[in-house]
Chain A
Amino acid sequence: MNERQEFDVVVAGAGPAGIAAACAAAESGAAVGLIDDNSEPGGQVWRRDRSHAPSQLARFWLNRLERASIHRFSQTRIVAATARSRVLVVEQPRGSFEVSYRKLVLATGARERFLPFPGWTLPGVVGAGGLQALVKSGLDVQGARIVVAGTGPLLLAAASHLRLAGARIQAIVEQAPLPSLTRFALQSARYGKAAQALGLGLDLIGVPLHVSSWIEAAEGARRVSAVRVRVLKKVKTYPCDYVATSFGLAPNIELPVLAGCEIEDGFVAVTGGQRTSVKDVYAAGEITGIGGVDSALAEGQEAGSGNALGADRWLPFKRLLHDTFNPRDELRSLAAPETIVCRCEDVRRSALDGMTCWREAKLQTRCGMGTCQGRVCGAALQFLNGWRNESVRPPLLPARVETLANPGRRSR
């Protein structure tokens, strides 16, 4: 195997946006490399489910990917990038090498945003998408009692999926108020999302849905055993085995920032055809604004083909999503002074008192200095304190010292 593999187009991320970009590029004759850290393509939304067939849409695109001539790098993490030389350093479980490109499509997707509340570090408190991912990768939740809490359309999707997998959904707890949810339901019909929502609704008949509500605390000795939920002025306690929580999505903009792309309001700024501010670097999907599968597919095809195909028609839907599910101010006081904010370094909220920026907090408290490199607490602190992470440096993810020392050498 070569130390450096060369492609016309390299696509970072094999979720819907990345798959669409890779297919569009390959079908127009380009040599395409598709890099993803999972073992199979599909990203989070199309992660292979061991017990359920993929959706029609997923099947269509996964088949199209299968047929296209694309070099797929699975279980491959991009750990460094130099936009000037157009080279990515990638690491696999048993080695590392470099990948070079003429054109780069960034489709790194999003992660769940978690907001700290008392008890959120207990085992059994899991991301809503995270628990879905665990179920898809073999966790049996048959009979498990689950409370789904946070905000966003993902809550209903997760609850429905978990229920079909045999879980007993105790309650769905959504912080957004009913009027904005109603407006969302009505307006999203315009984007062909009504049937989808209705389907989820039918799946969830009989499950208590609390709106304008949020978790006050998770309780339990060494794992979660119950949650206290604030419903209007009352507090209800639900015994449970898992809490599936998510407060919307945070874009994975670390690679775009390292590649030098301009960021606007936390997302990668793009112009026509999904061009970023860096020449020959394109961006598609959630990193340009949270919009879901359909907008990701449209943007991916634009980015891969280099042609404007009208993906910007999803912009109003992205705004609608944001406006509906933006976390309310009350959630800023969920975390108590003794609540851990940074889980890697166990930094409590009170330790951040008097800190003026994240850099100061990092230096003085180690907040965000741990193994996740601030990916979890960063999104929380942006909401809690208005802090933004100002710097991204290699390694983008923890990488073996050997990879950084000899990036061009395949080892072991």
Chain B
Amino acid sequence: MSASADVIVIGAGIVGAACADAIARDGLKVAVIESGAIGGGTTAACMGHIVVMDDSEAQFALTRYSSGLWHQLAAELPSEAEFTQAGTLWVASGEEEMAEARRKHAYYGKRGVDTEILDARALAEAEPNLRPGLAGALRVPRDSVVYPPWIARWLVERSGARVIHGEAVAASGTEVRLRDGTVCPAGAVVNATGVWAPRLTSSLQIQPRKGHLLITDRYPGFLRHQLVELGYLKSAHGHGSESVAMNLQPRATGQILIGSSRQLGVDSSEIEEHMLQRMLQRAMEYVPGLGQLPATRAWTGLRPCSPDNLPYIGPAAEDSSLLIAAGHEGLGITTSLATGTLIADLLLKRRPAIPAAPYFPGRVHAASH
């Protein structure tokens, strides 16, 4: 490696790509190390949902900040990025979930995020293919949809980063060693290898969480919003090791993308029929007409899951000159841009737009001692 880079980013998924882009915008010379195709890992197994979430204050702050960055970027994104402001409908099946919709409405409203309560009739008008008898929904109009693998590549290209095809086997804050023995020196190193980040930084607690996805043929207009059941985190994706939830998305192509399933600690890539079946049955409970649509492809991916469901952004516990940008679980697309910006801020010792400490990797390490 002749010309050494100011910063090496390991991993060219959406998070690594966003880091490379943000760092390059500060005038630093970046190199990206990727062993497979750009955007070909977890990034290729995401729904591409830009969503503001309120699981915790820290999660809300990060997703709202990042969602704003996506809206700024949208004007520059070419059409292949498929940025569509579809909006999210958090669907309530009964009164209990409707109460949750109202709570969410209040929470978001207090923090300046526009949302709207839909009653049963308004919901049926908004999405005629939902089954009758649902209680209503919370609409979050600014939530959006993108096509992540293409954007990852676009960001890497825009950053002007040199792409090094190889597998990193060791990383410190000053150099990265590849499988073939090559040593790449750098002023700083970012580990953005998602599920595989603990291989390079052993203190990171990240578990794979397998998910299934299935996509249909093109039925433009069949759905208009990203639909998510309101029990998504609480009842549907609870703490069991296997769970499914209704999560449906109209793609820019007119295809319907069907999620979601979660299997903690499973790292195989095969389609597991029992999970696929449960996931599709759940989706059909909400949208019965889905049953007759031809499905064209199913696939799986691994989400990098941290114990407290927050990503690791910041200095590694064992080596503060090594930066971590990993562990984004199911929110990697939404939070990628904020992650990139926070990493650049940390590198340049700038004051970030939101407090960065809640995402420092040391928090989990410290808590477990």
Q: Which residues of B contact A364 (CB under 8 A)?
A: 37-39, 149-150, 153
Partner of B271, one of A370, A371, A394, A406: A394
Say yes or no: A359 contacts B296, CB within 8 Å.
no
Say yes or no: A401 contacts B280, CB within 8 Å.
yes
Say yes or no: A401 contacts B293, CB within 8 Å.
yes
Say yes or no: A401 contacts B258, CB within 8 Å.
yes
B-facing residues in A333-377 (Cβ within 8 Å): 356-357, 359-360, 363-364, 369-371, 373
Chain B nearest Cβ from A137, distance in angstroms: 22
* Bound Cα distance from A400 to B150, whole angstroms: 28
Say yes or no: B291 contacts A82, CB within 8 Å.
no
Say yes or no: A407 contacts B277, CB within 8 Å.
yes
Say yes or no: B292 contacts A394, CB within 8 Å.
no
Q: Does B7 contact A (CB under 8 A)?
A: no
B-facing residues in A382-412 (Cβ within 8 Å): 393-395, 398-402, 404-407
Q: Which residues of B contact A373 (CB under 8 A)?
A: 296-297
If the complex has contacts A80-B273, A364-B153, A406-B277, are A393 and B298 also in contact, measured as CB distance less than 8 A?
A: yes
Q: CB-defined interface of B143-180 with A at 8 Å, one 1/0 digit per residue?
A: 00000011001000000000000000000000000000
Say yes or no: B298 contacts A394, CB within 8 Å.
yes
Q: Does B294 contact A (CB under 8 A)?
A: yes
Q: Does B217 contact A (CB under 8 A)?
A: yes
Interface residue count for B (Cβ, 8 Å)?
A: 31
Q: Which residues of A contact B217 (CB under 8 A)?
A: 371, 398
Q: Which residues of A contact B271 (CB under 8 A)?
A: 393-394
If the complex has contacts A357-B37, A363-B44, are A401 and B216 also in contact, measured as CB distance less than 8 A?
A: yes
Q: Which residues of B contact A394 (CB under 8 A)?
A: 271, 273, 276, 298
Say yes or no: B296 contacts A371, CB within 8 Å.
yes
Partner of A402, one of B214, B292, B296: B292
* Bound Cα distance from A363 to B292, whole angstroms: 27
Say yes or no: A363 contacts B276, CB within 8 Å.
no
Say yes or no: A398 contacts B294, CB within 8 Å.
yes
Q: CB-defined interface of B261-300 with A at 8 Å, one 1/0 digit per residue?
A: 0000000001101001100110110000011111111110
Most buried by A among B37, B270, B299: B37
Q: Which residues of B contact A395 (CB under 8 A)?
A: 295-298
Partner of B291, one of A371, A393, A402, A407: A402
* Bound Cα distance from A356 to B298, whole angstroms: 23
Q: Does B40 contact A (CB under 8 A)?
A: yes
If the complex has contacts A363-B40, A364-B153, are A402 and B277 also in contact, measured as CB distance less than 8 A?
A: no
* Bound Cα distance from A7 to B281, whole angstroms: 28
A-facing residues in B294-340 (Cβ within 8 Å): 294-299
Chain A nearest Cβ from B141, distance in angstroms: 28
* Bound Cα distance from A402 to B280, whole angstroms: 8
If the complex has contacts A363-B39, A405-B280, A406-B277, are A398 and B295 also in contact, measured as CB distance less than 8 A?
A: yes
Q: Which residues of B contact A399 (CB under 8 A)?
A: 294-295
Say yes or no: A405 contacts B150, CB within 8 Å.
no
Say yes or no: B296 contacts A398, CB within 8 Å.
yes
* Bound Cα distance from A405 to B284, whole angstroms: 9
Say yes or no: A400 contacts B292, CB within 8 Å.
yes
Q: Which residues of B contact A398 (CB under 8 A)?
A: 217, 294-296
* Bound Cα distance from A28 to B211, whole angstroms: 46
Q: CB-defined interface of A66-104 with B at 8 Å, one 1/0 digit per residue?
A: 000000000000001010000000000000000000000
Q: Which residues of B contact A406 (CB under 8 A)?
A: 277, 281
Chain B nearest Cβ from A13, distance in angstroms: 22
Say yes or no: A359 contacts B284, CB within 8 Å.
no
Partner of A404, one of B40, B44, B276: B276
Chain A nearest Cβ from B91, distance in angstroms: 18
Chain A nearest Cβ from B36, distance in angstroms: 8
List 5 extra interface pairs beyond A364-B149, A371-B217, CB under 8 A: A359-B40, A360-B38, A364-B38, A401-B290, A404-B276
Some 23 contacts from A to B, beta carbons below 8 A apart, are: A357-B37, A360-B40, A363-B40, A363-B149, A363-B150, A371-B294, A373-B297, A393-B270, A394-B271, A394-B276, A398-B296, A399-B295, A400-B293, A400-B295, A401-B258, A401-B283, A402-B291, A402-B292, A404-B214, A404-B277, A404-B295, A405-B277, A405-B283
